[in-house]
Structure 1
Amino acid sequence: MTSPLTLTHARRADGTSVLTVVGEIDQSNADDLAAALDDARAQVVVDLTGVGYLDSAGLNVLFARGTGLELIVPPLLSPVVTVSGLADLVPVRGPEGVAPEAPSG
């Protein structure tokens, strides 16, 4: 079954490209995310605050296109992004604009 995913491109007044992602990112739709990031072609802020699930296929897409990305992640995804090492590769911040806390333990 295909997981629902909505991808919306926008441009801020300062010219920054923003890709807002809503839904679940998994193997069934990771190619759609890859295509949307490829269309952005430059610096892009990827707003994942509306994402409730991110599997390894989605992580692979973000790792492969890491150069030029900045991620906005909700608390639910913060441990995934941190433990995977993606937070070491790209700038990551929470919805409030601050870096998410590293998972404890």
Structure 2
Amino acid sequence: MNEQVTYLNISEVKQPVNVDLRAVIPTYSQMLSEGVLKEPIVVERATMVVLRGYETLEALKLLSAEKAPVLQVDSSKVKVRSLQAKLKPITLETILMAGVKGPKLPYN
């Protein structure tokens, strides 16, 4: 099955992390200056939890956007890894739970 970008109401997309506003500003500024969003937000299909594009979602919220371009992926095709070596490994289940029920995960 081919994955397609669709547009969802922002209220349907679930953020699993507390994103630092300082990390959102570059994305927000780029969206304002270029007037275009280059990559969709990647969400897990069953839960609509963000897997990639945390900053993009928050920038769209700051812009009062009603819809977001999303790429829905099947969780069986997702591999999760932490980019910070000092943190204990994180699982897909942890991310999905944070997005669905909370509490949200730290950004850094």
| TM-score interval (norm. to shorter) | under 0.3
Structure label with greater radius of gyration: 2
| TM-score (norm: length of structure 1) | 0.26
Q: Which has the higher helix share?
A: 2
Q: Which has the higher strand share?
A: 1
* Structure with the larger RCO, 1 or 2 (CA within 8 Å, 6+ apart): 2
